[in-house]
Structure 1
Amino acid sequence: MIGTVREVTPNVDAGALLSGAQFIDAFRVEVGAAAVNAREACTRMVLHGPRWIDVLLRLRNMLVTPFGLKTSGEGAPAPYGLIGLFPVLSETPERLIAGFDDSHLDFRLVVDVTDEGTGRQVTSTTLVRTHNLLGRTYLAVSMPFHKLVVRNMMGRIVGPALN
């Protein structure tokens, strides 16, 4: 159904994207016949979200700064620029990979756009590899919010410009 976000089994080569990832999940939304590419889908997901997500991000940045963790993509290579705080590492019209490596964990966001019999689908896959106790703790603390935030972000892909 167009606009319905659902959790799906991740269908990516985790070894190639982030070898050793301990956490992987994926969500999918159907966008019908909309001519959306991976960058536009990612931009719709990340930018202009509800204030509560911005508040959570600011809180996260305040809490992790004393530990020397990166905030808002600082110091991360971004060969294809930034989308919000995410450095874009590679990009085709069908797939965008964003993410960064930090001392506590490495993170990848993969946005895939595919054509199915029912129309186009966008899948967002998150991969995380932790390095130490701080990374494992950060992952455990953020997980209660992760699914809620990703579902909300995915729901923004089907917006007024795509209807």
Structure 2
Amino acid sequence: MMIREIKPEVDRDGVLAGAQFADAFQVTVADANLDARTAAERIFSQSPRWVQMLLDLRNMIAAPAGLKTSGEGEPNTGGVIGLFPVLSETPERLIAGFDDHHLDFRVVVDVAPEEGGRKVTTTTLVLTHNRLGRIYLTAILPFHRLIAKSLLRQVGFAQLPR
């Protein structure tokens, strides 16, 4: 399964107006019936152990700084997938994310027909609000690319473990 980085193709202003950062990764999977929610569940419901360790470290550092940690936030009518509240959803696109005082974050999961299956694209958008947000974004970017690719690889799994 080949994951490739592509130019983000989402309407930034429609998803997160003013976002200063965007990237996108794409993979093709054989599941011709895959919808955006199922793809997002496969991507975000489980993390490899090394990713979970990084998230735990992030949460230990973030809490004293007053930043949201995993599981915090307002209840959402779209539910939560992994760490992320679902903000909007169609069969072809799911948008999840949260707003915090240092930055706003969105992840967009798009699915589209592709010969022999589906093309799945994850796009990350970030809008920083202050110096702390810019520092945080700079600090996590080297890890973000590795994590994004690792999580997207999971979309090819036939089903989620129960």
1:95 correspondence with 2:93: yes
Residue of 122, 128, 131 corresponding to 2:129: 131
TM-score by length of 1: 0.93
Give the CA deviation at 1:46: 0.9
What residue number does 2:155 align with? Answer: 157
Which 5+ residue runs of structure 1 have no aligned equivalent?
none
The structure 1 segments of at least 4 consecutive aligned residues displaced by more than 2 Å after TM superposition are 116-119
Asked if 1:141 corresponds to 2:126, the answer is no
How far off is 1:7 after superposition?
A: 0.3
> What is the TM-score when the length of structure 2 is the normalising length?
0.94
Q: Which moved more, 1:65-74 or 1:139-148?
A: 65-74
Question: 1:92-128, CA deviations, whole angstroms, 9 ceiling, x for partnerless residues?
Answer: 1110000000000000000000013453100000000
Q: How many percent of aligned residue pairs carry the same amino acid?
A: 57
Q: Which residue of 1 aligns with 2:19?
A: 21
- Structure 1 position 161, deviation (Å): 3.8
Distance 1:118 1:160 in 2: 15
Question: Which residue matches 1:7?
Answer: 5
Q: Which amino acid aligns with 1:9?
A: K
Match 2:37 to one of 28, 36, 39: 39
Residue in structure 2 matching 1:67, options 46, 65, 68: 65
Q: Is the 8 A contact 2:22 2:125 kept in 1?
A: yes
1:52 aligned residue (21, 45, 50) = 50
CA distance in 1, matches of 2:75, 2:20: 23
Q: Could you tell me whether the CA contact under 8 Å between 1:111 and 1:123 is conserved in 2?
A: yes
- Evaluate the alpha carbon distance shift between residue 12 and residue 96 of structure 1 in structure 2; reply closer, same or farther with a 3 A threshold: same
Distance 1:16 1:98, change over 3 A: same
Q: Equivalents in 2 of 1:76, 1:21: separation in Å?
A: 22
Structure 2 alignment gaps of length 5 or more: none
Task: Report the secondary structure of 1:26's partner residue.
Answer: strand
Partner of 1:121: 119
Aligned-pair CA distance for 1:79:
2.1
8 Å Cα contact 1:77-1:89 kept in structure 2: no
Separation in 2, partners of 1:132, 1:126: 19
The C-alpha deviation readout for 1:115-142, integer Å capped at 9, x for no partner, is 1345310000000000000000000000
Q: C-alpha root-mean-square deviation of aligned residues, in Å?
A: 1.4
